[in-house]
Structure 1
Amino acid sequence: MNNVLMPTLFVSHGSPMMIVEQSETTEFFTQMGQTIPQPEAIIIFSAHFDIAGPVMITSGQTLGTIHDFYGFPQSLYEVEYPAHGAPQLAQKAGELLQKSGFSIALDQTQGLDHGAWVPLQYMFPHRDIPVISVSINSQASAQIHYELGQALSPLRREGVLFIGSGGISHNLRAVFSQASDPESIHKMQLFTDWIAEKIEHRDVEAINHYLQTAPHALFNHPTPDHFLPLPCILGTSDAAENGKVLHRSVDMGLLALDAYGFGLTA
C-alpha cells in the first residue's frame, strides 16, 4: 500500500431513489470520486450495517449487493455493485480493533447495503477498489464509535479511504408528516447548522455528546443509526484536522444530505 494520508469522509446517502435520480448530491459524489487521491482500499461505515454485539467486518473475496429496501421501482433491484473484498485488510482492521478492546467478528458472506453501494456507485463506478464494511452499533454511544474510528485510523496512512455513510438528519416520520409540525424545517436547519459549525471547529466533545448538546437532536435522529457513522469518521481524523463542509442540500423537504471531510488538501 502507498503512504498517502487519505482524506476521511462523511456522506449522507439519502433515499435509494438516488441511484436512479440525478441530483446535486449525486453530482457531488461523482465529483468527489474524481477529486480525491485514488485509494488502495475503502473502509465504509454504513447506517444500515447496524449490529448489536461484536464489531462485524466483511472479509469475503467479493461483496454482494444487498437490496435492503422495499416498495421501490423494480429498476432499483436490478442495480448491482459487485465489489472486490479485502480479506487481509479485514484481518488487519480486526486486529487493530481488538488491541483497542473491541470484540470483533469477521463475516465472509456479508455484502454491501444500499448505504454503502449507492455513494460508491457514483464515487467509484469502475468498481476496481477493494472494499470492507465495518458495522456500527446503535445501542452504543457516539463516543464508542469515535473510539472505533480512532482504533482504525492508522490505516489512513496505508492508502485506505474511510467513508461514513448515514444522513445528517433522518426523521422519516416527520418527512411524511411535515404539515403536523410547522417548525420541522426550522428544527432541521438549526441542527444541521450546529453540526456544520462543530465540524469546522473540531468540537469532538460536542459531537460525541450531541444528544445533550445539539438543538433538536432527537427530532433529527429519533434513532441514532444514521448519525453514528459521523463520530466514526471524526475518530479516524487527526487531532490537527478541522473538518470542512463539502456539500449541503435537502431532499423531500426535510432530509438533510450534508457531507463533511477531513484531511482534504484542496
Structure 2
Amino acid sequence: MTQSESSAEPIPPFPALFISHGSPDTVIADTQAAAWLKQMAEDLPRPRAIVVASAHFEVSGGVVVSADPKPETIHDFGGFAPELYAMQYPAPGEPELAGRIAGDLREAGFAASAADKRGFDHGVWVPLKLAYPDADVPVVSVSVDPNEGPEHHFRLGQALSELGAEGVLVIGSGSFTHNLGEAFKLLRRGTRLAEVPHWVESFTNWMNERLTASDVDALIDYRSAAPYAVENHPTDEHLLPLYVAMGAAGRHGTARLVHDSAEFGVLAMTMWRFDPPPATAAA
C-alpha cells in the first residue's frame, strides 16, 4: 500500500434514498423533480452498484432480486410520447450482488430468490436515466409485495442495511402520493401545475413531520394514522419503497427532505434521504 493510499479518507456509508419517480415522461419533462434528479448524483460519491426497490416490480409471497447480467429496458406504460418507447437504459446488472442480496434476505426470514430475465421497469430506468445518464453503474432491482404492508418493507430495508457501507446506493422508487384516478383527470387537461388540494397537502405534511421526527412506529401505521391516507394511496404499493429506504438506514437513521414539489396537483414528487446512524449507535 502506498502512502497516499494509506492516508486516504474512508468513504462514509452511502445514504438510502426515496425517490418519487412520477409519470414515465418525467425523463423528458421540464419539471422541478426532473431537475433535482439530474443533479442527484452530484451530492454522492460514485456508487459501485445501485439497488432499486421499485413500486412497479410487484411479487406476491416473496422477494425477487433481478440477476440478469444485461437487463432489458421495459416500457411498461401506454399513451405517452413515441420517443419514450425508443429510450434504452443499458446499465449492466450484477448477478453476484443479486445472489448475495437474496441470501441476506433469506437469512432475515424472507422467501427470496434471484431471477434473471427481469429488466428495468420505468420506476428504475426513468430516474436513473436522469441521475446516471451514462448507464455505467451496475443496477439490481428488488421487488415489493403488494399484499404486505410497511412493516414488512421496513424489515426488508433493514436486511439491506449493510450495503451502504460497501459503496452500494439503495433507492426506493415510488410516489409520495399516488391517486392515479385523480391524476389522470388533470393529465387529460394538460394541467401539470395544478393547485395541490387540501387532502394531498394534509397527508404530505403529516408524513413529512413524522419522517423528520423519525417516528417509525407512526409511519408504519400511516394507513390508520395519517389524514387522507386512503385518498392519497388507494393501494399502497407506491409508498412501500419509502419503507425499504427507511429500513436500509436503520431504525436510528436520520431523515432529510431533499426535494418537494407536486405535479397534476395530486402527485407529490417528494424525495427523502436517509443516513445511517454513526457506527457507535445501534442500527
Separation in 2, partners of 1:37, 1:195: 28
Separation in 1, partners of 2:202, 2:148: 25
Unaligned runs of 5+ in 2: 1-9, 187-194, 278-283
What is the aligned counterpart of 1:23 among 7, 14, 31? 31
Q: Is the 8 A contact 1:11 1:258 kept in 2?
A: yes
RMSD: 1.7
Separation in 2, partners of 1:152, 1:113: 21
1:177–1:27 CA distance, 2 compared to 1 (3 A): closer
Of structures 1 and 2, the larger Rg is shown by: 2
Per-residue deviation at 1:154?
0.9
Specify the code of the residue in structure 1 equivalent to 2:255. G
Per-residue deviation at 1:22?
2.1
TM-score, length basis structure 1:
0.94
Between Structure 1 and Structure 2, how many residues are aligned? 260
Are residue 192 (structure 1) and residue 204 (structure 2) matched? yes
Identity %: 39
Q: Is the 8 A contact 2:254 2:276 kept in 1?
A: no
Separation in 1, partners of 2:196, 2:268: 12
1:222 aligned residue:
234
Separation in 2, partners of 1:137, 1:241: 24
1:149 aligned residue:
157
Per-residue deviation at 1:108?
1.0
CA offsets per residue over residues 15-58 of structure 1, 9 Å max, x none?
Answer: 11111112111110111112111111110011100111220100
Per-residue deviation at 1:3?
5.8
Larger mean Cα displacement after TM superposition, 231-240 or 140-149: 231-240
Unaligned runs of 5+ in 1: none
TM-score, length basis structure 2:
0.88
Aligned counterparts, 1:122-201, within 5 A: 122-177=130-185, 185-201=197-213
Separation in 2, partners of 1:226, 1:243: 19
Q: Is the 8 A contact 1:4 1:158 kept in 2?
A: no
Q: Is the 8 A contact 2:250 2:276 kept in 1?
A: no
What is the aligned counterpart of 2:251 among 230, 239, 246? 239
Separation in 1, partners of 2:89, 2:48: 18
Q: Is the 8 A contact 2:20 2:271 kept in 1?
A: yes
What is the aligned counterpart of 1:9 among 3, 17, 21? 17
What is the aligned counterpart of 2:95 among 84, 87, 99? 87
Separation in 1, partners of 2:11, 2:158: 18
